[in-house]
Amino acid sequence: MKQCVLLLISVLLVVSCANKGSEKNKVATRVKTEVVAPATGIAGQSYVGMVEEKEATAVSFTGMGVVKRVLVSEGQSVSRGQLIAEMDDTQARNLLSSAEAQMTQADDALQRYQLLHDNGSLPEVQWVDIQSKVAQAKSQLEVARKNLADCRLLAPVGGVIGKKMVGAGETALPSQAVVNILDISTVKVKVAIPEKEISAITANTPTAIQVEAIGAEYQGGRIEKGVEADALTHTYTLSIHVANGDRKLLPGMVAIVQFAAPAQAHQLTAPVTAVQRRSDGSLFVWTVDNDSTARRTAVTIGSTLGNDVTIMQGLNEGDRIVTEGYQKLSEGTKVIF
């Protein structure tokens, strides 16, 4: 009888140890997961941008001199050919008078020598010399006329005066900007977009632009995407062209930009790193069932959106997928997250 009791105890101990070993083998694997949801893309998100002119033209004198007057003010609209400023032209007029006198003298000499040349009593070398002097006088006259004309600064393009850098009484240096003219018939709204979202934007993505300074809303046009990211912020600069026929949008105004959702933004997405490939080339992700067990789920993918990829088939909204720690999984593994 005593032997039977000992045998029973031994059997219970073996069963207990086996159960403990089985429970140990069922310890859950810790992973990171993510719930599958439709791609939000950039729809509904607002970005702060800045209005900039389409083009800026610096207008300057070609020579050095004292500015006599500036005829425009900042913010004023100007047309092409309009007088912007004038320089003291006293010296230029004196040079022009001297050049005109030399031209008159050269023409008079040419007429007198013409008679001698026609009669054959003038050596050819002297005839060539007088012709050269006439040409030199004519060239100097043209230069003097241009120098006088350059004392008047005309607008090379139409637009709005952005900033006035030189005033009356100041000395203008060659190529020193007196004013800059801004072309704002079309403006550009520049906005920085995170690198994860840049791929969802195309040249024709619709945009809505609000400018609180004038209480107006505009529809954006063509989009130019920068190709070099900011090293610190990891953002790309976009330039959105906006028609500005009423000239109300001015450089420096703050704009709130919203991008319309692209068609693929309503598709399900998953991180690119969560998609695995079998030996036969088929794709799958690890999904987590309601009982916290992992299983392979075949998927078909579409286009890439930043660090995500669109899921065409295989997943439903609300499915939980494993994004980290899937290397330790096998079919039916218990997981915690």
pTM score = 0.55
Q: Which two tokens stand for residue 167?
A: 């005033």
Task: Give the pLDDT score at 299.
Answer: 94
Give the other-Cβ count within 10 Å of 218's Cβ: 21
Task: Give the pLDDT score at 24.
Answer: 40
**For residue 333, which amino acid is it?**
T
Domain range list for the chain? 29-41+266-336, 46-55+186-263, 89-150
Same fold, 29-41+266-336 and 46-55+186-263: no
Which CATH class for the 29-41+266-336 domain? mainly beta
Q: Does domain 46-55+186-263 have CATH number 2.40.30.170?
A: yes
Task: Give the pLDDT score at 14.
Answer: 44
Per-residue pLDDT of the chain (337 residues; tens, 9 = 90+): 445 444 444 544 444 444 444 444 457 889 999 998 776 555 557 899 999 999 999 999 999 999 999 999 998 999 999 999 999 999 999 999 999 999 999 988 888 888 888 887 888 888 888 899 999 999 999 999 999 999 999 999 999 999 999 999 999 999 899 999 999 999 999 999 998 888 878 888 888 999 999 999 999 999 999 888 888 888 999 999 999 988 899 999 999 998 875 544 457 888 888 999 998 999 999 999 999 999 999 999 987 665 778 888 999 988 999 999 989 899 999 999 8
Q: Which two tokens stand for residue 73?
A: 């003010």
Environment class of 61 (CB within 10 Å of its CB; exposed 0-12, middle 13-18, buried 19+):
buried
Separation between Cα atoms, residue 243 and residue 184, nearest integer Å: 9
Phi, psi of 107 (to 5 degrees): -65, -40
Which CATH class for the 89-150 domain? mainly alpha
Task: Give the pLDDT score at 51.
Answer: 95
